[in-house]
Amino acid sequence: MATMTEQLANFEVVTAGEVERAVQIFRRDGFVLLADALTADELQFARQGADRVVGEQTGAIALEEANRGFARYSFGQQIQHPEWAQLVELDPVVDVVTAIWESEDFVCSGAGGDYSLPGAKIQHLHSDIGDCLNDPEQRIVLADLPTPFIVANFPMVDFTRENGATRFVACTQRNRQRPPALEQEPEWMRQSIVRAPAGAALIRDVRTWHGGTANTSQQTRVMTSVGYYAPWFRRPGELAPCMPPDLFETLSERAQCWCRDLVLDK
């Protein structure tokens, strides 16, 4: 079995609590891998929820009808479940997000993630947000701005080359160009695979180019997530209330502030 160093040789791993270093890498590369973001108990709880929803979704939706390509699924919004709500206020992640924006006045966009089953093919490179500025003079696009939207992804299993780990192309978060089509993608991009351990957090600017890889293993590769909008940014039509009030009441005061647009009316 590969050691942690061998698995993650291509990307620097930042220990939880090394906030300044994490911010430096994030601002340079568009993402940073943070070790030990989840405790063992938090990881176990998250896995229970993820496994339950994976079972529900794959039982209802055939592999060939999966919403991200064959055997590749997006969870969709899951903030209404406690296993995802716990991700809103993880101190190792929140400390980095707060330092990036130099403010706690951000807003939670919800929680979800994705998963790929054995047989899933490689996914094309993409960013997770299109240009929503629509500047009539075409002088400014979203890529020209500071980070507007951060997602923290949490591997539920160790990500390996075989089970479909995500590849990330560093320094593309401010790129005005579109990612190359799959058939035109250079080999070095295909090899930019983040082989992250379960319990880590991959904190990313959603504009950074990324894509899933083929799952040639016999393991379902599961990744949960939570998202945050910058204090000055909102994505039109995205914040639909779905969190039950009783779950909302279990959150801390600041987490309630971040989730205020997601809670259902009593």
| pLDDT (tens digit per residue) in 140-174 | 999 999 999 999 999 999 999 999 999 999 999 99
The predicted model scores a pTM of 0.94
Nearest to 208 by CA among 263, 143, 265, 145: 143
45-72: per-residue pLDDT in tens?
A: 999 999 999 999 999 999 999 999 999 9
17-31: per-residue pLDDT in tens?
A: 999 999 999 999 999
Arithmetic mean of pLDDT, 106-134? 95
Question: What's residue 266's pLDDT?
Answer: 63
User: Does residue 4 register a pLDDT over 60?
Assistant: no
User: Does residue 85 register a pLDDT over 90?
Assistant: yes
Percentage of residues in the chain with pLDDT exceeding 70?
96
Q: Where are the domains of the chain?
A: 4-258
Arithmetic mean of pLDDT, 231-238? 86
123-132: per-residue pLDDT in tens?
A: 999 999 988 8
User: Does residue 220 register a pLDDT over 50?
Assistant: yes
Question: What's residue 10's pLDDT?
Answer: 61
Average pLDDT, the chain: 93
What's the CATH superfamily of 4-258? Answer: q2cbj1_9rhob like domain (2.60.120.620)
Q: Which long-range contacts (CB under 8 A, 24 or more apart) does 28-31 make?
A: 28/170, 28/171, 29/168, 29/170, 29/171, 29/208, 30/168, 30/170, 30/171, 30/172, 30/173, 30/174, 30/204, 30/205, 30/207, 30/208, 31/168, 31/170, 31/194, 31/202, 31/203, 31/204, 31/205, 31/208
Question: What's residue 7's pLDDT?
Answer: 39
SS3 of the chain: the string is CCCHHHHCCCCCEEECCCHHHHHHHHHHHCEEEEECCCCHHHHHHHHHHHHHHHHHHHHHCCHHHCECECCEEECCCCCCCHHHHHHHHCHHHHHHHHHHHCCCCCEEEEEEEEEECCCCCCCCCECCCCCCCCCCCCCCCHHHCCCCEEEEEEECCCCCCCECCCEECCCCCCCCCCCCCHHHCCHHHHCCECCCCCCCEEEEECCCCEECCCECCCCCEEEEEEEEECCCCCCCCCCCCCECHHHHCCCCHHHHHHCCCCECCC
